């Protein structure tokens, strides 16, 4: 019998003892090894390729490992791969896996598993699609080596395989990865540092993960998805709490250890508690979006879109969404993540200062004929509901005919896919947000694409934005990249691909006996310990 | 002969009451004072309800602001001179919202009470009098009643777009079976009465019997039941809004104000507190009115007061 | 009587059939698209369409209803669209907290409400009666979530006597289990106590005026014996009826209570499923709740004959 199993068995006995005969010593020990975490949302499904919500990715990142992983500077570092060689023409990529990689069922991770995983992921991912379009072949050479041959160079390859934006390229066993990407996987055999306890999963309430003892971490220091993923607790329990007040109570009472997304109004309350630490969750934050339907009146009219963008007071949105704490939000003059090298305010003056009178004039000029503006607002989303309220007020003051559809996020999800006119089941606008980590550059920024029918909901057609994006992908130097970014930003503002409603960060909070919590676009459970 | 208590409580009565006797009330002393002395609960309930009604109707003249106008820069202000009941997380005036919110709650309460009673009465009379229809109708009602009303209302709300009309419709549908059962129970018990037998024997038509003998005797318990339905509907509306399946949030209703404020319950309790008080007081008023009415038309209870 | 029992049992079949059809139709007609939710915010319209087809959501009504009923008759409640877990399994995972909550609430409510109602009837017109009736009216008038937050604030946060939220399974000990259930049960029980106390008082008042009570009194029976033996026994039918009917209030209230106290039960499963339009789960849960409710009231109907042999059918 291996030592790991021995340990597992004794841990099991300890747990059983704790459960059967509550004795303070044992249960306290067990409690110290169990990290209880309140996630931002319910883990409703667990196929990170099939469903692309952030919450699924966050859980999946602990269970499945990736070939590369971005560090806190968003530079992709090797994770499962030992290294790669690229041919001089940039067309042939040879990857080599590092030794000792195991799936949770004990079988080794082989190149064929990787190839199957990439093949399932690529069609679901905007960057993956781009690579697939220029792919010559993707083959396993032997157990540890695989080769990806392209017809054109794709310099952002490592970023594509290691980015945080959904879907991430998680590596699964071949038999699971060959599941069609329209079907949900039913087996959760991971390759990462934690195993998923399927039998303890209660969707809507709980998800349980355990340390995978035979995971081999990399050497070096840990930084976001890069470096060693050393899990320091035995067990991670996700406790789903849909009501923020309940979660705040639980954290104060010590019933949970770490809350991913406390609402900012409750933060003062948490700060008063000396056992609780509060900090920014993700420095890259989020970008709020006022998404318009470019196919139908009134937002098929560029001037109407411009009028709305001019009328928007991002400060109102931000106060409504994240509160009065001005350290948490800022007004945007562009579409990319502020604080990163790609943030640009080219052409973005109009976004930064609300001008209601100018907006009314522009609306009058536009020939707006009082067509109803069908606003889809998901009431069950704490970030989107207040945005919708501000919008209703804004459009009414602007003099537009507001048709406010208050519904749940599921219905928004259905209706926003309809291309019919608003009166026939379609829509005019909805709110959403984009993770700052996805908006750091055009590669993963799905919502900025303006290629008509292939674009994201709203289907904007703006050739100048698309031209800018192509230029960025082909940019040989940082200067040309920058020029391309400015071009994209200017075109996106002028044509109002969508109207950003501001940049905001959110908090996370944890009990002080938990250490190792880092800021990042997702919660990283490795490196976190509890005393 | 079965006694009053056992027969008169049909197994479907949601907020079941002792069934009043179908006799006219003992004559009250004359004048307002006499009325107040005789039926204090009814007087208090009615008074409070009237107050709420007046408040709802005259909300625009009671120093309110536009209940939907936003001022994010002035959000979550404590109650004070500027915002009597404080402001919510969008900077809206809670006082104005609460006053306007009375309109929605009262509208939903009264509409559901009237619609459910009217439809339930019609179906109940029909079922009570026509044996063939009875088993079919009552099976359908049993089916509807075997879905707990809030669950049924939530499911119905999932069908449609959130609007006050749809909330009224959903709650009405959920309440109809209970009224139907009540009315049918009364009809079945009355049918056994000698004077109805006599009417049937003398060849009076079914419609005439219903009109002359059954309907008047049904109205009293139905009125009492209607007040309880009204109270229940106001709470159901609040619960629907609370879980996000009710009145569209753009309309200030007490349920919506509470739903919006509940996340801040610990730090800004007044956002939940004020609508909660108003809702509770209004429901209380309706319940007291119902109790008073029941006592008033139940002579045996009235005698003991 | 046996004929009645059989007839009454058989009568539940069409009721359940109606419920099945109703529940299925209702959710079939519902707007909102699970495919869109599953696909996620960053999904393209093609993704949504593909997922919808893979879930079979694009097939006709009768086909889907037929399949659903057929599978249910085999004991298969289907598979959740979101979790890909069998609905039966999900319900099984969630049933213990809800059952526990209802059971504790039921016991608590009955043991508080009946004495309250009896005493109120006995002391009719006194301040005790008024206090009981006042409490009952309040119980009806204050929404369950307000009571819930108030209790959590006072007893968990300020006084720190009881846990704020959560649920401890029964197998981890009676006390931890009970500790977590006290506040939710009191919050949920408010309306139920009010309901039972009122009906108890009302029927007791009726019964106390009956001849046989007067006879018992005349014969010199003790006050307690009159109240709890003669009168309460005769008042039992409406009281038990209301206890059964009140289960609906508990089910409805559990939805809210479980949210407030973060109890991972069926109520929260229902709300989550409805908001996410997870059809198989909604259908399974509503069907189950209805089934339980029908069974409880069937049992009570049959109990009538036990409690009150005067009722003949």
In this predicted structure, what is the pLDDT of residue C311? 53
Q: Could you tell me how far CA C190 lies from the centroid of its own chain?
A: 13
Residues of A in contact with B265 (CB under 8 A): 245
* Distance (Å, whole) CA C231 – CA C225: 9
Provide the token pair at B163: 């609007």
Does position A204 have pLDDT exceeding 80, yes or no? no
Any C CB within 8 A of A411 CB: yes
Q: Which residue has the tokens 């703006």?
A: A462
In this predicted structure, what is the pLDDT of residue A374? 94
Query: pLDDT tens digits, chain B, 305 residues: what are they?
Result: 233 333 333 333 333 343 333 334 445 456 777 777 777 888 888 999 999 999 999 989 888 888 888 888 888 888 988 888 999 888 899 999 999 999 999 999 999 999 999 999 999 888 887 878 888 888 788 788 878 888 888 778 766 767 889 899 999 999 998 899 888 888 888 877 787 778 878 877 777 877 777 788 888 888 888 998 999 899 999 888 887 778 887 889 998 898 888 788 778 888 888 998 899 899 989 988 888 887 777 654 443 33
Angle (nearest 5°) at CA C233 between C227 and C234: 100
**Residue A415: closest CA among C279, A423, C58:** A423
Q: Which domains does chain B have, with CATH numbers?
A: 38-58+92-297 (1.10.3720.10)
Angle (nearest 5°) at CA C289 between C285 and C293: 170
The stretch A473-491 carries a mean pLDDT of 91
User: Minimum mean pLDDT among A410-414, A456-460, B84-88: which range?
Assistant: A410-414
Q: What share of chain A is helix, strand, coil (3-state, %, to 5)?
A: 35, 20, 45
- What is the per-residue pLDDT across A284-330, written as a single tens digit (0 to 9) for each? 999 999 999 999 989 999 999 999 999 999 999 999 988 888 889 99
Does position A8 have pLDDT exceeding 60, yes or no? no
All chains having 3 or more CB pairs closer than 8 angstroms to chain B: A, C
Q: Which of C41, C54, C163 sits opposite A53 (nearest CB)?
A: C41
* Contact between A432 and C152 using a beta-carbon 8 Å cutoff: no
Residues of A in contact with C262 (CB under 8 A): 239, 241, 243, 246-247, 250
Average pLDDT by stretches of 10, chain C with 313 residues: 79 81 73 61 66 73 80 80 78 89 92 89 83 83 82 79 79 85 90 87 80 71 70 77 82 83 83 72 83 83 66 48
Q: Which of B145, B262, B305 sits opposite C125 (nearest CB)?
A: B305
The stretch A351-364 carries a mean pLDDT of 94
Q: Which of C32, C33, C260 sits opposite A246 (nearest CB)?
A: C260
Mutate to test the interface with A, among C80, C83, C175, C273 (most CBs of A within 10 A): C83
Residues of B with CB under 8 A from a CB of A: 68-70, 72-73, 75-76, 89-91, 161-162, 244-245, 248-250, 262-268
* Distance (Å, whole) CA A210 – CA A525: 11
Any A CB within 8 A of C57 CB: no
Any C CB within 8 A of B301 CB: yes
Residues of A in contact with B68 (CB under 8 A): 392-393
Q: What is the dihedral of CA A229, A230, A235, A236, to 10 degrees?
A: -40
Close Cβ partners of C251 (under 8 Å, ≥ 6 residues apart) = B148, B150, B151, C102, C267, C289, C293
Q: How far is CA A262 from CA A59, A242, A271, B271, in A?
A: 18, 11, 12, 19
Does position A497 have pLDDT exceeding 90, yes or no? yes
Any B CB within 8 A of C286 CB: yes
- What is the per-residue pLDDT across A25-78, written as a single tens digit (0 to 9) for each? 344 456 668 999 999 887 877 889 876 678 889 999 999 999 999 999 889 999
Q: Which residue has the tokens 């007067």?
A: C214
Using 50, 70 and 90 to split pLDDT, how confident is the model at A23?
Answer: very low
Any C CB within 8 A of B159 CB: yes
Give C171's DSSP letter.
G
- Say which residue, C276 or A120, is predicted with more confidence: A120
Angle (nearest 5°) at CA B287 between B285 and B290: 110
Any A CB within 8 A of C275 CB: yes
Any B CB within 8 A of A385 CB: yes
* Contact between B243 and C205 using a beta-carbon 8 Å cutoff: no
In this predicted structure, what is the pLDDT of residue C275? 67
- Say which residue, A142 or A415, is predicted with more confidence: A142
Element (H, E) at A86: strand A81-86
Q: What are phi and psi of C100, to 5 degrees?
A: -60, -50
Angle (nearest 5°) at CA C128 between C126 and C131: 115
Q: Which residue has the tokens 């590369």?
A: A68
Burial (CB count <10 Å: 0-12, 13-18, 19+), residue A15: middle
Mean pLDDT, rounded, of chain C: 79
Provide the token pair at B127: 């079922």
In this predicted structure, what is the pLDDT of residue C34? 63
* Distance (Å, whole) CA A490 – CA A468: 10
List of long-range contacts for C114-119, beta carbons under 8 Å, 24+ apart = C114/C196, C114/C197, C114/C200, C114/C232, C114/C239, C116/C193, C116/C197, C116/C200, C116/C201, C117/C196, C117/C197, C117/C198, C117/C199, C117/C200, C117/C201, C117/C204, C117/C239, C118/C200, C118/C201, C118/C204, C118/C227, C118/C228, C118/C231, C118/C232
Residues of B in contact with A390 (CB under 8 A): 70, 72, 90
Q: In what order do the strands lie in the sheet with A81-86?
A: A81-86, A92-97, A145-150, A135-140
All chains having 3 or more CB pairs closer than 8 angstroms to chain A: B, C
């Amino acid at each position: 019998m291996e030592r790991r199993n021995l340990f597992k068995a004794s841990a099991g006995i300890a747990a059983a003892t704790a459960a059967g005969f509550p004795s303070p010593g044992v249960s306290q020990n067990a409690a110290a090894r169990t990290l209880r975490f309140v996630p931002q949302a319910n883990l409703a499904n667990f196929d990170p390729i099939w469903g692309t919500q952030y919450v699924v990715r966050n859980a999946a990142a602990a269970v499945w490992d990736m070939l590369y992983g971005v560090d806190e500077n968003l530079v992709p570092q090797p994770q499962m791969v030992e290294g790669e060689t690229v041919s001089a023409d940039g067309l042939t990529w040879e990857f080599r896996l590092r030794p000792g990689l195991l799936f949770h069922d004990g079988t080794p991770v082989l190149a064929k598993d990787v190839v199957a995983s990439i093949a399932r992921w690529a069609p679901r991912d905007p960057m993956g699609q781009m690579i697939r379009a220029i792919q010559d072949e993707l083959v396993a050479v032997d157990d540890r080596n695989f080769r990806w041959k392209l017809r054109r160079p794709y310099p952002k390859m490592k970023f594509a395989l290691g980015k945080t934006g959904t879907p991430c390229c998680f590596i699964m066993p071949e038999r699971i990865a060959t599941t069609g990407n329209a079907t949900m996987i039913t087996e959760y055999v991971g390759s990462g540092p934690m195993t998923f306890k399927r039998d303890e999963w209660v969707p809507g309430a709980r998800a349980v993960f355990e340390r995978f003892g035979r995971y081999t971490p990399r050497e070096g220091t840990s930084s976001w998805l890069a470096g060693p993923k050393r899990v320091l607790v035995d067990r991670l329990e996700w406790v789903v709490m849909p009501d923020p007040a309940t979660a705040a109570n639980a954290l104060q009472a010590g019933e949970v250890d770490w809350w991913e997304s406390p609402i900012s109004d409750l933060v003062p309350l948490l700060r008063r508690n000396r056992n609780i630490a509060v900090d920014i969750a993700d420095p890259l934050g989020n970008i709020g979006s006022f998404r318009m339907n470019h196919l139908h009146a009134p937002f098929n009219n560029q001037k109407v879109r411009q009028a709305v963008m001019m009328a928007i007071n991002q400060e109102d949105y931000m106060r409504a969404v994240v509160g009065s704490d001005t350290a948490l939000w800022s007004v945007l003059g562009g579409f990319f993540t502020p604080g990163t090298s790609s943030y640009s305010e080219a052409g973005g003056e109009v976004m930064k200062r609300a001008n209601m009178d100018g907006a009314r004039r522009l609306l009058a000029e536009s020939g707006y004929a009082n067509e109803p503006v069908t606003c889809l607002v998901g009431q069950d989303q704490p970030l989107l509901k207040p945005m919708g309220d501000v919008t209703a007020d804004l459009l009414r003051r602007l003099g537009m005919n507001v048709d406010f559809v208050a519904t749940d996020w599921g219905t928004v999800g259905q209706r926003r896919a309809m291309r019919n006119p608003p009166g026939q089941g379609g829509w005019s606008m909805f709110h959403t947000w984009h993770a700052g980590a996805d908006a750091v550059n055009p590669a993963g920024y799905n919502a900025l694409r303006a290629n008509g029918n292939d674009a994201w909901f709203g289907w904007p057609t703006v050739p100048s934005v698309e031209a800018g994006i192509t230029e960025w992908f082909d940019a040989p130097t940082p200067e040309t990249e920058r020029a391309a970014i400015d071009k994209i930003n200017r075109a996106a503002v002028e044509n109002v691909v969508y109207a950003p409603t501001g940049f905001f960060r959110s908090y996370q909070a944890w009990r002080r006996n938990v250490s190792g919590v880092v800021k990042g676009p997702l919660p990283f459970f490795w490196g976190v310990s509890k005393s | 002969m079965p006694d009053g208590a056992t027969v008169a409580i049909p197994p479907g009565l949601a907020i079941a009451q002792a069934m009043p006797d179908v006799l006219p009330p003992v004559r009250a002393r004359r004048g307002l004072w006499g009325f107040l002395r005789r039926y204090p609960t009814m007087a208090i309930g009615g008074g409070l309800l009237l107050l709420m009604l007046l408040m709802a109707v005259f909300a625009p003249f009671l120093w309110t602001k536009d209940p939907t106008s936003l001022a994010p820069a002035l959000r979550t202000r404590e109650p004070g001179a500027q915002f009597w009941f404080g402001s919510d997380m969008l900077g809206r005036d809670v006082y104005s919202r609460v006053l306007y919110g009375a309109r929605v709650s009262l509208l939903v309460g009264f509409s559901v009470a009237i619609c459910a009673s009217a439809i339930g009465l019609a179906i109940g009379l029909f079922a009570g009098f026509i044996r063939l229809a009875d088993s079919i109708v009552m099976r359908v009602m049993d089916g509807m009643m075997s879905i707990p009303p809030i669950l049924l209302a939530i499911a119905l709300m999932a069908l449609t777009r959130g609007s006050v009309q749809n909330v009224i419709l959903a709650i009405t549908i959920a309440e109809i079976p209970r009224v139907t059962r009540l009315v049918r129970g009364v009809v079945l018990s009355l049918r056994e009465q000698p004077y109805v037998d006599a009417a049937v024997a003398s060849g009076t038509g079914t419609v005439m019997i219903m009109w002359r003998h059954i309907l008047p005797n049904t109205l009293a318990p139905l009125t009492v039941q209607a007040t309880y339905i009204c109270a229940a509907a106001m709470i159901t509306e609040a619960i629907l809004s609370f879980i996000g399946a009710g009145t569209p949030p753009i309309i200030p209703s007490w349920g919506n104000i509470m739903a919006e404020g509940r996340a801040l319950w610990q730090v800004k309790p007044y956002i939940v507190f004020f609508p909660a008080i108003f809702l509770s007081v209004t429901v209380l008023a309706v319940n007291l009115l119902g109790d008073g009415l029941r006592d008033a038309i139940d002579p045996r209870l009235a005698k003991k007061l | 009587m046996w004929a009645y029992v059989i007839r009454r049992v058989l009568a539940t079949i069409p009721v359940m059939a109606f419920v099945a059809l109703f529940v299925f139709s209702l959710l079939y007609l519902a707007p909102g698209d699970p495919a869109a939710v599953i696909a996620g915010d960053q999904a393209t319209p093609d993704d949504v369409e593909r997922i919808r087809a893979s879930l079979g959501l694009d097939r006709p009504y009768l086909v889907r209803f037929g399949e659903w009923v057929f599978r249910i008759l085999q004991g298969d409640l289907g598979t959740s669209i979101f979790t890909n877990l069998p609905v039966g399994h999900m319900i099984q995972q969630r049933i213990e907290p809800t059952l526990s909550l209802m059971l504790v609430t039921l016991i608590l409510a009955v043991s508080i409400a009946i004495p309250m109602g009896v005493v109120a009837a006995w002391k009719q017109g006194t301040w005790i009666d008024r206090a009981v009736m006042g409490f009952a009216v309040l119980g009806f008038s204050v929404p369950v979530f307000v009571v819930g937050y108030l209790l959590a604030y006072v007893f968990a946060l300020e006084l720190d006597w009881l846990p704020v939220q959560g649920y401890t399974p029964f197998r981890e000990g009676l006390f931890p289990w009970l500790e977590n259930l006290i506040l939710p049960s009191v919050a949920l029980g408010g309306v139920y106590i009010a309901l039972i106390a009122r009906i108890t008082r009302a029927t007791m008042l009726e019964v106390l005026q009956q001849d046989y009570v007067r006879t018992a009194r005349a014969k010199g029976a003790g006050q307690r014996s009159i109240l709890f033996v003669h009168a309460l026994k005769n008042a039992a039918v409406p009281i038990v009826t209301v206890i059964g009917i009140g289960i609906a209030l508990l089910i409805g209230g559990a939805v809210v209570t479980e949210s407030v106290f973060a109890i991972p039960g069926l109520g929260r499963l229902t709300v989550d499923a409805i908001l996410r339009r997870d059809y198989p789960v909604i259908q399974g849960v509503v069907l189950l709740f209805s089934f339980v409710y029908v069974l409880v009231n069937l049992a009570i109907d049959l109990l009538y004959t036990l409690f009150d042999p005067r009722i003949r059918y």
